[in-house]
Chain A
């Protein structure tokens, strides 16, 4: 009977020796509700100083934390200088398969580079249709955390802005070409025509004046101008594209004279006459 008890005791002791020691939850010595990384160093007291793993379970992703043995237990810190999405997080300490959780609020030590986003739409405007633009604003830090807008308590803003009537490429933000928007010329509002006879090649030269839109912008290069000329019998047509706001054609002087008019879209010039000098 005594012998049996000794065997049982030895067996019990053997199992006890083989079983893993479950660690007690490490005590966070400088515990706080909000931690700021990478500046904060976290001190933990534990009888087991090695074989721990630490990670910050941020709102978006788990972030590996460095761990080294300290005087009373171990010390945790973030090695990388890269920030994280701020907000609620769990500090997780793992020893083999056992995890301990410490709920915290996480903040970055520095916002890094602040970027003000200024989205404009449409990117290209034309005075014929609209001189208004929709503007959307938000600001992010380098780690993609939305920041309050400057001089505001909101994260987002939008408005409709009036644009200048003058054509050009305008950056929504200084020194940021990607934010540029474009004001293009509208359609012509007034067509002046000039014509003269050229004896050297027996032709009439017909030229428009400077073609401009309602806001005095020169019309876009490549605007199609249709020149119609006629006498008593037949109407002829020639087309030319504008360059620097002007278009011209040469009409063979087969007849003694013509009536001439130019048309761009729905706008027409007054009719003029041209004839060979007698």
Chain B
């Protein structure tokens, strides 16, 4: 009887241990423990000009530049792969909802994009430093098409609304200007 009881206890403990270790494996690491290789491997040139009533201090400006570069790293990745989740730390909830509306699994686009230069004109900066609207003028973008040796260079102007949420600037809305 004692042996049978001990055996049952052993099975229960084993089940709990196995379940625990399985849960641990399924769990997602918190953002500060994850390496964002897409953002880390991205480089671009960003110049900033301020036109707003309230203006960011040097620390806030450095953070904005870094996050704006990361946003573009993920926008380029999204353009090429339609992998919507990769950049979710840089999207607001509304933006994320919008892009998932056209998600049908990972895709491989024949065209890749690289942003080389940005000229941010900060139009508005909220007094509490949580909202920023900007015009990114003279964005220089390279598109690589298959079977073309040279990239196609395009210049464009963009309007963008960014929100500071959860330690990151996130894209909330945009408009490609003529």
Residues of A participating in the B interface, judged by any CB pair closer than 8 Å: 55, 57, 59-64, 80, 82, 84-88, 90, 92, 94, 99, 101, 117, 119, 121-123, 133-134, 136, 138, 140, 142-147, 155-158, 160
Contact = CB atoms under 8 A, between A and B. Distances in A.
Contacts of A84: 102
Interface stretch (B12-20, B37-45, B74-82): B74-82
Given A80-B101, A99-B110, A144-B94, 14 more contacts: A55-B109, A61-B79, A85-B98, A88-B156, A121-B126, A121-B131, A136-B124, A138-B173, A140-B94, A144-B173, A145-B175, A146-B159, A146-B173, A147-B175
A82 B100 CA distance: 10
Given A92-B110, A99-B110, A117-B161, A144 B172 contact: yes
Most buried by A among B54, B104, B175: B175
A132 to B, nearest CB: 9
Interface in B117-149: 123-124, 126-128, 130-131, 133, 145-146
Contacts of A157: 124
Given A60-B78, A136-B131, A146-B175, A156 B101 contact: no
Interface in B147-178: 154, 156, 159-161, 172-176
Give the 9 A-B CB pairs with smallest separation, nearest first.
Answer: A87-B176, A82-B101, A134-B127, A121-B128, A146-B175, A156-B133, A140-B173, A158-B124, A121-B127
B99 to A, nearest CB: 6
A223 to B, nearest CB: 26
B98 A156 contact: no
Contacts of A86: 175-176
Contacts of B172: 140, 144
Interface in B54-75: 54, 75
Contacts of A123: 128
A104 to B, nearest CB: 13
A122 B95 CA distance: 25
Nearest to A147: B175
Contacts of A60: 75, 78-79, 99, 174
B128 A155 contact: no
B145 A145 contact: no
Contacts of A99: 110, 146
Contacts of B95: 144
A134 B102 contact: no
A90 B98 contact: no
Contact of B174 (A133, A146, A158): A146
A82 B161 contact: no
Contacts of B156: 88
Given A62-B79, A134-B126, A136-B124, A145 B99 contact: no
Contacts of A155: 133, 159, 175
Contacts of B174: 60, 85, 144-146
A149 to B, nearest CB: 11
Contacts of B131: 119, 121, 136
A134 B53 contact: yes
Contact of A136 (B82, B102, B133, B146): B133
Contact of A138 (B82, B111, B161): B161
B109 A88 contact: no
A101 B110 CA distance: 10
B110 A146 contact: no
A146 B95 CA distance: 12
Contacts of A59: 79, 176
A64 B161 contact: no
A94 B53 CA distance: 50
Given A62-B107, A86-B176, A156 B124 contact: yes
B159 A57 contact: no
B78 A61 contact: yes
Most buried by B among A80, A136, A138, A147: A136
Contacts of B107: 55, 62, 64
A99 B126 CA distance: 45
B53 A160 contact: yes
19 contacts: A55-B107, A61-B102, A62-B82, A82-B101, A82-B102, A88-B154, A92-B110, A121-B127, A133-B127, A134-B53, A136-B126, A136-B131, A138-B133, A138-B161, A143-B98, A146-B159, A155-B159, A156-B124, A158-B53
